[in-house]
A and B are shown apart, each in its own frame.
Chain A
């Protein structure tokens, strides 16, 4: 087993990269859900992730709720924040243009971050890993059980959303708003409700990303912006609005980061990802799966 140290190391980076990438993918999916219904880039998306981690710390570690209970409670609390974001920051804007709404999300993200600092302070928090921290050794490649949880949740989110958007009338109604808002209203769909739902859904998925990430990488009040940038990068890379694109973009971004940090100078890992992102966009401005003609890629 010790005969291929380089190969082992490479596999190790791949595993880490896919895990980080899965988090980016979940953030990117959150961006897409809101973008598809409203064309808004919700720049507070990263705060949902941060809150997912920190609320979980409070309910699980501080209040002592068991994991199985703390999980839904956390998701619920963060979903509520998503609902409030829509009700307090998005809906009250009288003559909304996409740009003013995006700026509203920036303002909201600053406020959420500020409140988080007041509530949790500046120090990072850890969470116990869901199934302990005994690494699984597969031929010299170390896999933390938590990595499997992260990837498992990405799969669950993807499968869940696929079923939701393709099989339920509510999911289809959300798709209809994205497709043709006027036509959606003409069949009786209340577009405002769908916008609210999109914020709630994005917040819930952000929370899941945050609370699974925390046992691996800790969480503090200040992490939202960077996660949002990475998730947004992933969404752009895969093609804004495309869910398979979000997963592809997220995983690619995670892999680039992990490989470049491992093989090259780790201090520049954020820069490498950005450079690749810019390069892809230079060649394909619509992202990898964001071809306007290939609309079937837009949904799962």
Chain B
């Protein structure tokens, strides 16, 4: 579904990620693990179009999206849940969800929008309860759910998740990972970036290890879970 070839990207003349090649097959969960500063977010931002300073090739469903901006790419069915949630903090929860449907917000899609938001609220009942609340006042876990819910409103076929477990209590982390599994069970393709390597590898089919902007290791997630190098560096021995 997503094929990345020799992608380099960064913020200045020196790229933060170099010549990364990576594939996400349809219906799978692919995970990228790596330490802080390895370039995971830079990679996702280059794919979603937020970062335009890049070279290489990104194919989404066979279509070259390398030169497209973020607001175009999301319309094709590739939706990113950015690092640090990035909700509309001054707006209500309901408005955040509604804005997820911005690209197809027309009268004739009213039924679909209602159906989708009902699904999101069913998946995260707490959001329904807090629908009128200002999003910035939600707890970290609730904000993450809102960010995922808003992304689901964009009619994604591929979901990019950037450290969804960051800064959350263990019980909430578990809940988020369960949600990811549920989504994948419903057919959603997922590219998951995590520092919580163990949890990520447990739900992923395939994984890549990123170090200083390059892929140093890749393989089936189950295999990486037992890899001595991965164990030593990312799974606490």
Interface residues of A (CB under 8 A from B): 169, 172-173, 175-176, 179-180, 182-191, 295-296, 298-299
Q: Which residue of A lies closest to B151 (CB)?
A: A186
**Known A186-B74, A189-B71, A191-B71: A173·B102 in contact at CB below 8 Å:** yes
A187-B100, A295-B136 as given contacts; A172 in contact with B95, CB under 8 Å? yes
Contact A188 B74 (CB under 8 A): yes
B contact residues around A190 at 8 Å (CB): 71
Whether A182 and B50, one on each chain, are in contact in the complex, defined by CB atoms closer than 8 angstroms, is yes
For the complex, is B48 an interface residue (Cβ under 8 Å from A)? yes
Contact A298 B75 (CB under 8 A): no
**Smallest CB gap from B85: residue in A:** A183
Q: With A182-B50, A183-B87 as given contacts, are A176 and B134 in contact (CB-CB < 8 Å)?
A: no
Query: Is the Cβ of A187 less than 8 Å from the Cβ of B102?
Result: yes
> Which of A173, A186, A191, A299 has its CB near the most chain B CB atoms (within 10 A)?
A186
How many inter-chain residue pairs (CB < 8 Å) link A and B? Answer: 78
Q: In the complex, how many angstroms separate the beta carbon of B101 from the nearest chain A beta carbon?
A: 8
State how many residues of chain B have any CB contact under 8 Å with chain A: 31
A-facing residues in B116-156 (Cβ within 8 Å): 134, 136, 150-151, 153-154
Known: A175-B91, A179-B88, A295-B136. Is A189-B50 also a contact (CB below 8 A)? no
- List the 10 shortest-distance A-B pairs measured between CB atoms, nearest first: A188-B103, A185-B70, A183-B86, A179-B88, A169-B105, A188-B74, A185-B71, A295-B90, A190-B71, A188-B71
Shortest beta-carbon distance from A104 to chain B in Å: 22
B88-A188 in contact (CB<8A): no
Q: Which residues of A contact B59 (CB under 8 A)?
A: none
Taken together as a complex, chains A and B put the C-alpha atoms of A185 and B82 apart, in Å, by: 11
Quick one: which of A179, A186, A188, A191 contacts B91, CB cutoff 8 A?
A179
Nearest-neighbour CB distance to chain A for B70, whole angstroms, equals 4
Residues of A within 8 A of B136 (CB): 295
Contacts of B153 in A (CB 8 A): 187
A186 touches B48 (CB 8 A): yes
Among A179, A188, A191, which residue has its beta carbon within 8 angstroms of that of B89? Answer: A179
